[in-house]
Amino acid sequence: MRSRKNKQLETYHPPKWLRGGHAQTIFPFLSQTFGVRGYGRQTIDTPDGDIIHLDWLKKKPVSPLVVLLHGLEGSSNSHYARALMTNVERLGWNGCVVHFRGCSGSPNHLPRAYHSGDSDELEWLIPKIKQFAEGPIFIAGFSLGGNVLLNWLGKAQYEETRCITAAASISAPYDLTAAGNRLSTGFNRVYGNHFLRTLKIKAIQKIQTHHLTLSVKTIRECATLKDFDNNFTAPIHGFYNVDDYWSRASSKPFLPTIDKPTLILHAENDPFLPGGELTELVETNNKINLKLTATGGHVGYMRGPFPGNLAWLPNQITDYFKDFL
């Protein structure tokens, strides 16, 4: 049984010229999305003596606020961030892109970076953001950011979820073991290699700046995301190894306990992690509106004649949020 607030969203149909999960993932990433008139950057001090950066749209009084959590190595300049913030701006709402540590273009101060289970970050950050919001707060998380969001919403220890009205998770790798192994094998290593280019550079900088005992040579030789997570992400964030990290950081076990209205949008042909398992995982939770599409790729959902546009996905997100105003 679904919440009365959850309506049927539009079905996604890909353009005839864009077929298959890989094309539907890669082509939107390569596209250009314009419309955001510029962000104002805010630096927030963290409880552990670090900094993170928030990029804000120009503030409108007493309007809904959409907080965006980006994916692995994403930012306010990511195609999905620009697309959603363009839509938010058009609606006259407020928008804020949260940069995970080290993703804003400026390094953070501490040796730690960010990871797929970094939900403690939201617990202290969202109340701070609420101080700047005069209307309801919505959160949209994409890919890694979606997994962080689902963890925060579903874990019993968090209390500050009361600050938000509703949430949306798009293409979240809810089972990190399955997703991580997929990105470390076959054609999917193309995606893994894309992420590794910047992850390795930043990791080596941290090792050298903070005189960490981790091996620069080992990081340089990481051939897959699994290697990198085992040799950097896991130890730097207090996990025993990659298996421990992926297991403890996955949002999959916490989907049944989410008690905020939440849209989960996922494609069955997502090359990072197909979403077919989600139907069974959320079937007993009437707070979740699952929109499982046959196609769409990973944070893709391009529509229209060539070269296409990225309007479909942000429209689904804001249409869902409108029901709570």
Written as six digits, the tokens of 10 are 């539009």
Does one domain contain both 201 and 140? Answer: no
Could you tell me if residue 15 is inside a domain?
no
**In CATH, what number is assigned to the domain containing residue 59?**
3.40.50.1820
Does one domain contain both 144 and 289? Answer: yes
Does one domain contain both 120 and 209? Answer: no
Does one domain contain both 144 and 214? Answer: no
Does one domain contain both 163 and 270? Answer: yes
Written as six digits, the tokens of 284 are 């007993």
Does one domain contain both 109 and 45? Answer: yes
Final residue of a structural domain among 248, 268, 300: 248
* CA dihedral (285, 295, 172, 87) positive or negative: negative
Domain of residue 25 covers 21-175+250-322
DSSP per-residue letters across 190-228: HHHHHHHHHHHHHHHHHHHHTT-SS-HHHHHT--SHHHH
Does one domain contain both 33 and 156? Answer: yes
pLDDT tens track for 134-154:
899 999 999 999 999 999 999
Does one domain contain both 125 and 135? Answer: yes
Number of structural domains the chain divides into: 2
Q: Which residue has the higher pLDDT, 35 or 87?
A: 87
The stretch 17-32 carries a mean pLDDT of: 90
pLDDT tens track for 83-120:
999 999 999 999 999 999 999 999 999 999 999 999 99
Does one domain contain both 223 and 260? Answer: no
Give the span between the Cα atoms of 71 and 8, in whole angstroms: 26
The model carries a pTM of 0.95
Reply yes or no on whether the pLDDT at 78 is more than 90.
yes
pLDDT grade for 123, boundaries at 50, 70 and 90 = very high
pLDDT tens track for 159-204:
999 999 999 999 999 999 999 999 988 899 999 999 999 999 999 9
pLDDT for the residue numbered 1: 35
